[in-house]
């Protein structure tokens, strides 16, 4: 009698355990065969490209795409790391690496996607050759975009960085030559377009060019993109191999997406990574 009661109790505990695990899996949004994809969007061209070109492809495949708007990428990444959304498409891998380190998170890219290059802009000059001694140059203050800005200033021939410096960790201290004695100031990326009348040149990331309605064709010099500066579709690491994540990758690599880009990529606005060509 005692053995039978023990057996029944064990079976009951096992069933409860299975139910708890099932509910946890549903709550986390991590099931591989789910048909709703929760996407965090941020102001900028990358979310707009997803909504215009990728979302319709996923919907044709039977997925429901639920969009949640965030005022900035940081909040979207926090929501992604906490499992409140499944995907975002507004960051390059250098930013992602920095977020993972600072927040002890496990976000991972699943596919590199079209990217808008950073560029040097000016309201006063029409060529980088017009740079004068002591010119005021504003660059983004966040580390990964500051690093890319220093690389761009070096490409312009305005500064020289010390040999061997890791490109995306470059700082003002890594400048070994500044023949024009440029006055380089760091500020929040979103503030640079508003300061253009008070400075000589500004380095603007593509998302800021878009959000500030700056004409991208007025870029005096565009950056040479390295892999870590390509944008990526990003998920939690434990969702990387789910069916829905693979569907997102497939959508970006589809012929339908390529046709959309071919029609809308005026003047090479979008840099298309090798994975999508």
- One fold for both 31-115+228-276 and 119-224? yes
Q: What is the CATH number of domain 119-224?
A: 3.40.190.10
How would you write the pLDDT of the chain (277 residues) with one tens digit per residue?
545 554 445 444 444 444 434 444 444 444 668 999 999 998 889 999 999 999 999 999 999 999 999 988 999 999 999 999 999 999 999 889 989 999 999 999 999 999 999 999 999 999 999 999 999 999 999 888 899 999 999 999 999 999 988 878 899 999 999 999 999 999 999 999 999 999 999 999 988 998 888 999 999 999 999 898 999 999 999 999 999 999 999 999 999 999 999 999 988 889 999 889 8
Question: CA-to-CA distance for 242 and 32, rounded, in angstroms?
Answer: 4
CB 152 within 8 A of CB 120: yes
pLDDT at 5: 53
Rounded to two decimals, what is the model's pTM? 0.80
pLDDT at 89: 97
Query: What are the structural domain ranges in the chain?
Result: 31-115+228-276, 119-224
Nearest C-alpha neighbor of 90 from the set 58, 113, 117, 66:
113
Residue 160 exposed, middle or buried by CB count within 10 Å (0-12, 13-18, 19+): middle
What separation in angstroms does the CA of 276 have from each of 221, 223, 256? 24, 20, 12
Homologous superfamily of the 31-115+228-276 domain (CATH): Periplasmic binding protein-like II (3.40.190.10)
pLDDT at 17: 45
């Amino acid at each position: 009698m005692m053995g039978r009661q023990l057996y029944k109790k064990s079976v009951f505990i096992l069933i409860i355990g299975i139910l708890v695990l099932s509910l946890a899996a549903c709550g986390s949004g991590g099931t591989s065969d789910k048909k709703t994809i929760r996407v965090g969007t941020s102001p900028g061209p990358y979310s707009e490209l997803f909504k215009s070109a990728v979302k319709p492809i996923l919907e044709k495949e039977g997925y429901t795409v639920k969009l949640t708007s965030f005022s900035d990428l940081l909040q979207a990444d926090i929501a992604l790391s906490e499992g409140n959304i499944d995907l975002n498409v507004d960051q390059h891998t250098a930013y992602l690496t920095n977020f993972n380190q600072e927040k002890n998170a496990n976000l991972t890219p699943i596919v590199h996607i079209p990217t808008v290059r950073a560029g040097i802009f000016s309201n006063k000059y029409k060529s980088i050759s017009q740079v004068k001694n002591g010119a005021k140059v504003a660059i983004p203050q966040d580390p990964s975009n500051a690093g890319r800005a220093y690389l761009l200033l070096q490409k312009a021939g305005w500064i020289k960085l010390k040999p061997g410096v890791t490109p995306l960790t470059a700082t003002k201290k890594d400048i070994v030559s500044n023949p024009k004695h440029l006055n380089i100031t760091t500020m929040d990326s979103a503030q640079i377009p508003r300061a253009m009348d008070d400075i000589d040149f500004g380095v603007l990331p593509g998302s800021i060019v878009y959000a500030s309605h700056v004409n991208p064709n007025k870029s005096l010099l565009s950056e040479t993109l390295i892999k870590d500066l390509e944008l990526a579709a990003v998920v939690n690491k434990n969702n990387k191999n789910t069916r829905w994540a693979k569907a997102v990758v497939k959508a970006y690599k589809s012929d339908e997406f390529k046709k959309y880009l071919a029609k809308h990529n005026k003047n090479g606005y979008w840099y298309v990574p090798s994975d999508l060509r």
